Amino acid sequence: MTLRRFVATGLALAMAALLVSGPAIAAGKPNPTAKVNINTATVEQLTTLPGVGPKLAARIIEYRQKAPFRSPQELMNVKGVGEKNFAKIEAWLSVGEVPKAAAK
């Protein structure tokens, strides 16, 4: 009987630990508090976006150095940003004012 009680207690504690930590693990990083201008944002600012890590942020910056983004949808031209990832972050993206020379 004591072995059963010991196992039951252990299982109960394990389940309680999963229930308490589960939502925290699933939550990931918090969403940005304001829109992120993808033409001027730093790596740190870009990594606040869901699904964007340091490597993807660096690719975004490398892409925009060739020409600024004219619309948030152009972000899908960057390797690693597909339709699903773009849909997650679209609400937090802005491009600011694009210089007239780059808007051609």
User: For residue 69, what is the enclosing H or E element?
Assistant: none
Q: What is the mean pLDDT of each run of 10 residues along the chain (104 residues)?
A: 70 58 52 88 94 95 95 95 93 80 51
Residue 80 inside a domain? The answer is yes
CA distance 4 to 10: 10
Task: Write out the residue range of the structural domain in which residue 80 sits.
Answer: 36-94
Alpha carbon distance, N-terminus to C-terminus of the chain? 80
* Whether 90 and 41 share a structural domain: yes
Q: What is the pTM of this model?
A: 0.66
Domain membership flag for residue 86? yes
Q: Residue 85 — left, alpha, or beta (φ > 0 → left; ψ -120 to 50 → alpha)?
A: alpha
What are 73-96's pLDDT values in tens digits? 999 999 999 999 999 999 999 998
Nearest one of 56, 61, 17 to 41, comparing CA atoms: 61
Residue 99 lies in a domain: no
